[in-house]
Amino acid sequence: MTSSRNRKKIKDRDTELIEAINSGRHELFEELVKRYEQQLYNFGLRMCGDAYDAEDVVQDTFLNVFKYLKDFRHETKFKNWLYRIGASICIKKRRKSKFAPEREISLDDFLPEENAKGPTDIPNWAQLPLDQVLNEELFQHLKEAILSLPEKYRVIVVLRDVEGFSTAETAQILELRRSNVKVRLHRARLYLRDQLRGYFEYDQ
């Protein structure tokens, strides 16, 4: 886990780069890209399920970042702003992708009872890097389960349980209320738990 000191260093370096780029040192934009391109590619791959789409997500995101970087006011972390752009592009890309399902599933069967509190613990599979999830069969099953989620649920699962953003950060990135993030995350986890039944024991 990244320490608070390391997070501060990352934030400070982002700020330094952005200020330098906006002052005319455009050659430093490449360093900003290198800091986040792999993370953003992984995010695009988990959202879209296709390497070419993920590459397009990275390219389109950074094109937008370069175009609007002067408008960034540091009211949020740069990484959160970056993922806000990336998430919007992913959703648009996913809708156009040949890998998108013809009809999205309904999560009605996985709704919590009225006034029921959602699980607060991160499921066991989410505590492991995706490339270390026990075996290839489970890894593929998990990817397919996440990709089968409707967009508004999938993006929250990926941001919260895979990318490691907090509920508050996820709400900020997606411009949602925290309560909406919690409800959607609960429903998505219930669905994924059902899809992964037999692989893990869940303590929720």
pLDDT tens-place string over residues 169-189: 999 999 999 999 999 999 998
Amino acid in the structure at residue 178: R
What are the residues whose beta carbons fall under 8 Å from the beta carbon of 191, sequence distance 6 or more? Answer: 105, 107, 110, 145, 149, 153
Q: What is the CATH number of domain 108-195?
A: 1.10.10.10
Question: What is the fold, at CATH topology level, of the domain defined by 4-96?
Answer: Rna Polymerase Sigma Factor; Chain: A (1.10.1740)
Domain boundaries, the chain: 4-96, 108-195
Model confidence pTM above 0.85:
no
What are the residues whose beta carbons fall under 8 Å from the beta carbon of 41, sequence distance 6 or more? Answer: 54, 55, 57, 58
Q: How confident is the model at residue 73 (pLDDT cuts 50, 70, 90)?
A: confident
- pLDDT at site 121: 59
pLDDT tens-place string over residues 80-96: 999 999 999 998 876 65
Q: How far is CA 165 from CA 92, 101, 196, in A?
A: 21, 27, 23
Which residue, among 19, 137, 129, 133, has the nearest Cα to 72 in the 3D structure?
19
48/172 Cα distance (integer angstroms) = 21
